[in-house]
Amino acid sequence: MKRLENRVAIVTGGTAGIGEATALRFAREGAQVVVWARNEARGKEMEKKADKVDTSDFEAITAAAKRVADKFGKIDILINNAGITNDSTLKKMTVEQWQNVIDVNLSGTFYCCKAVLNYMLEAGYGRIVNASSVVGLYGNFGQTNYVATKAGLIGMTKTLARALGRKGITVNAVAPGFIETEMVAKMPENVLDGMRAKVPVGRLGRPEEIAAAYLYLASDEAAYVNGAVLSVDGGMTV
């Protein structure tokens, strides 16, 4: 039997990079996958799964969750993968830059959790996995807004885990390190070399490796894992 057989999963930010790898892996494992994304899906396989939704808009998220529940009868899994960056030093960062990242990364995750909660409570079952980051654990220059959201997601994860565990809903987080997404691949080679030098295993991670972590936490194999932050970073936070 496949690991997510008969499960209904929502993956936010699922049309590229880690989100796309996650959506495709979950589908291979038997899940009915719905992708929420602000951008149009690329490729026919992702087009079939994608629903254009702004995760910083609570009303839009609530309506999207209802569409999923109406179509499939339930919502079992939520992968809060959507996130953006808008980097700047504190001196140069505008209020708009700050708020933009907070709205998508932190408020958006809260909105998604709230939108699916009643469906999970009714079923007495749910798996919520939030995307934090290694920088949420140790900070990073020029990313005050981004780091604040990723550290905040760790606190949100642990709080929701305590609140929902007895209801059959587990809430965990994954903290990826440097991952070889399309955006990262476009960086200058000397920058990439510097990134690799910080990783004990000597390479960048692959989106599929983060998808595998999401899969574990979304599966029944992780039924006793709740409130955890799983670092997938090649040893950066050791």
From 111, 119, 146, 214, active-site residue: 146
The whole-angstrom separation of Cα 213 and Cα 235 is: 15
Residue 203 within a domain: yes
Residue 96 within a domain: yes
Residue 236 within a domain: no
The whole-angstrom separation of Cα 78 and Cα 49 is: 14
Total domains present in the chain: 1
Residue 44 within a domain: yes
Which residues of the chain, if any, have pLDDT below 50?
none
Residue 2 within a domain: no
- pLDDT tens string 61-87: 999 999 999 999 999 999 999 999 999
| Pick from 59, 37, 57: nearest CA to 46 | 37
Residue 77 within a domain: yes
- pLDDT tens string 194-214: 999 999 999 999 999 999 999
Residue 15 within a domain: yes
Domain, as residue range, for 187: 8-231
pTM score: 0.95
CATH number at residue 92: 3.40.50.720
Active site residue 146: yes
The whole-angstrom separation of Cα 90 and Cα 69 is: 42
